[in-house]
Amino acid sequence: MRVGQNPAKQINNISKPQRITVAVLNYIPYQKGYFSESFSVLQRCLGSILENTQQPFDLMVFDNGSCTEVKHFLLELQAAGKIQYLILSEKNVGKGGAWEFIFNAAPGEIIAYSDNDALFYKNWLKKSVKVLETFPRVGMVTARALRTSPELSTNTVKWANSEKEAVLEQGDFIDYADFYDFSVTLGYSDEKLREEYESKVDQRITYHDVRAFVGANHFQFTGWKKVLQECLPFDMQKPLGQVRELDEKLNHRGYLRLMIDGYLVQNMSNRVPAGGVSKPQLVVKKKFRFRDIRIVRKILLWIHDRVFNLYYEK
């Protein structure tokens, strides 16, 4: 038999989720070798999101089976009010498995996704959403101009050529220094990077006075939740194959794959960059509430205890 009334029944106001969910996928199984600096990289990733995102958003973190120290850190951030939705997976379900969960569970109508090694700069989300809301049928928007595989954005180019209000340009718009700054973090040799740069050209579109580059990168992107859900499910037989599968499905369905005109996100890979932004702070200022005054809280709790015993004491 139930004793007393559930206090939750007296709650009249329920917090509504923000329109945008910023979702970070994390995986740090241990802190040695390749992952020796990954914990610090994660801290700087989350710190840059909290520091440089001006729009209202909810932060979701999907942890894909990390070590105990990392999980404790994430729980502390959630307790401090920095993370609104924290998912701690017992085991690594792969990137596709994590994406399926995020694309279905994120409460926002817009999902801004990131790997745990991205470093964000001011206005990254504002400019990404601007492109997302200006262009039609957008699949994903990356917050940095890159040179990407053209075969994954054929329908973006097709749309630009057929749309009277769109202006498509082709040329070397991304400097080699900017290309190198990002691509060197992927572990390629200087010779390979130079060859990659010279084998491709940039394409950019101007539409309704907003400029965007053709292409996108799955390490970081912003998209409509309902569009990303169209790409589900993923083939779980290929642990890393889902990343290209997402690109292919969006292109096949005729969605635009775009990048902002600028450089507002950087890939840190598995090493902490020099300088950068600070780690997220755990100390949170609490709003003053009359009921939190020590003597008031003591009196209210005493009254509550007396009333409960009066009605329900056996």
Same domain, 75 and 220: yes
Q: Which domain holds residue 24?
A: 16-267
Same domain, 213 and 296: no
pLDDT digits (tens, 9 = 90+) for 177-189: 999 988 888 888 8
Q: Return the structure tokens found at 235.
A: 């083939």
Residue 170 lies in a domain: yes
Residue 108 lies in a domain: yes
Judge whether residue 279 has pLDDT over 70: no
- Mean pLDDT for the chain? 89
Same domain, 160 and 291: no
**Considering the entire predicted model, what is its pTM?**
0.85
Confidence of residue 286 (pLDDT cuts 50, 70, 90): very low
Residue 64 lies in a domain: yes
Judge whether residue 191 has pLDDT over 80: yes
Q: Quote the number of domains for the chain.
A: 2
pLDDT value at position 29? 97
Residue 6 lies in a domain: no
Same domain, 293 and 177: no
pLDDT value at position 114? 98
Same domain, 204 and 112: yes
Residue 278 lies in a domain: no
Q: Tell me the C-alpha distance between 50 and 47, whole Å.
A: 5
- CATH code of the domain in which 188 resides: 3.90.550.10
